[in-house]
Structure formats: C-alpha cells, structure tokens
Amino acid sequence: MAKRIVEHYVSDLSGVDLPEGTTSLRFAFDGRSYEIDLTPQERADFEVAIARYVAAARPTASSARSGSGRSSRSSGGPDPKAVRAWARDHGHDVPARGRIPATILEAYSAAH
C-alpha cells in the first residue's frame, strides 16, 4: 500500500489556500519580530498599508546589522579591541570585557 502525505498551507489571516512557493512574511514592530503567512493579495494589502510609515521612517543600527554580536562599531563608535589596547598601552585600567568607561572612550577620542 502506498501512502501520500500532502502539506497544505493556508493564510494565517483568512484561512485561504496559499499558492505553492509562497513564503512567510517577516516584520518587526515595537521591538518584536513577527512572521505571518499571507495570500499574495493579503501581502500586497499589508505592503500598501505600511508603505507610508516605512517611507517616513529611518533605519536603525539593528536593522542594518547582520549577525547576532553586539559591538560599538555597529553604532559607529570605535573598535572596542583597539580602545582597550590603546588604554592599556597608556596606563588606563580598562575591563577586559563589558562596557568601556566613558572617561576612557573620551581619552581615546581625544588622542585620535
């Protein structure tokens, strides 16, 4: 006896069948990420609804960043490794990990 298993995808919004090859829509709002499966028309409606807000918005460092690591460089600051090395070479007491004190960052910036 043969067995056939068919996966059947439907819209999370309306329950309507989704065409083959439809991908989930991912978006973020208010610091939370979401994923939803929509029909092509529902997706188009969603894009029209948020287009005005996207056009007026500005990108954030987190949306431009790839990977999960956090670093001062992603926000345009100096390389933490370089700051720590400079601080040690100039007699500053700097932690090996964690936040670099503002006084050290200011001294580094003044020197560069």
The CATH code of the domain that includes 80 is 4.10.320.10
User: Domain count of the chain?
Assistant: 2
Q: Which tens digit of pLDDT belongs to each residue from 73-86?
A: 455 678 888 999 99
Pick the most confident of 6-15, 46-55, 61-70.
Answer: 46-55
Predicted structure pTM score = 0.51
Around 81, how many Cα atoms within 13 Å sit in the side-chain half-sphere?
0
* β-strand partners of 26: 35
Whether 15 and 47 map to the same domain: the answer is yes
Whether 36 and 87 map to the same domain: the answer is no
Whether 43 and 91 map to the same domain: the answer is no
Whether 52 and 77 map to the same domain: the answer is no
Tell me, what CATH number does 47's domain have? 3.30.60.230
Find the DSSP H helices in 1-112: 40-56, 61-64, 80-89, 102-111
Structural domain span for residue 105: 72-111
Higher pLDDT, 66 or 112: 112
Average pLDDT, the chain: 84
Residue 67 lies in a domain: no
Residue 63 lies in a domain: no
pLDDT of residue 15: 94
Residue 66 has pLDDT above 80, yes or no: no
pLDDT of residue 43: 95
Token pair, residue 27, equals 């978006």
Residue 70 has pLDDT above 60, yes or no: no
Which residues are within 8 A (CB) of 57 and not within 5 positions of it... i.e. 6 or more apart?
Answer: none
pLDDT of residue 69: 46
Average pLDDT for residues 21-33, to the nearest whole number? 90
